[in-house]
Structure 1
């Protein structure tokens, strides 16, 4: 059985909205304010995570963002992401262009539950905050990895804003990344 792993960049106050500044959010672009050492070490952590991942699970908008960028990139990290099986939760995406992509149609919870049963290893969810909230609400998430950026935005969509019930998590590890990032790993307690 596979493990669903949520991997997110978040502000210190939990905001995930518009990290690259492309969505028009007034505080958008907060991710791009990393220093050189932070960016280099962030990339090392993310590349290592990709190497240990067995599949990606994305919402449609996040899939489209990644699919517009990664196929043209080269290097070990890009090669890994481009070769991984990718599963997209969408009712509108009909012909995914990024190789090794399967659209999970129908009801999200049953589709992801079935995927967890069929696959082994880690299925990593990047971005896709609406999908993450649905997965959390239905106890499908097994692990949460947060790269916490040292900025408080004070507004914006938060990763766990609007989840239904309280969820307990157990801290598995902490790590300082670069000069100012914190990488936190939690296990969901059932």
Structure 2
């Protein structure tokens, strides 16, 4: 019993560390993209939506990034929420906002935002990964977590062995 708890705690700690590294990398990549410009074509969303004001959304996304860099989490959340309202096709801003909402223990809001992002950009692996982690660890929705871990693996260029292990663990627990 104690070893199962220690294993789960160790796994949780590893997942949280990986999640934090991913969040930092995601934010860095977003900032680099905003400063240099995106060299690749964006993933076309299946569902077309109208974009309120893409220029204003970009300004707000940059404002959110600057607030985050200065340690102003509330300011970053506010700016990114407004950016998402104006342009809900920007998967990077949606993802960053969801990670900050998770950091503020707003797990349900983060999961809903990631699900919205997946509807707009279903082929963005990071959205599936983050939704799977929040669903498993914080919302205890193991079926949803399993679905999105599998989708993450399908979209990833290389197999992530730790995610493969999490999938096997979830399948065992759900049987």
TM-score per shorter chain, which class?
0.3 to 0.5
Greater strand content: 1
Higher relative CO (Cα under 8 Å, sequence separation at least 6) belongs to 1
Greater helix content: 2
TM-score (norm 2): 0.36
TM-score (norm 1): 0.34
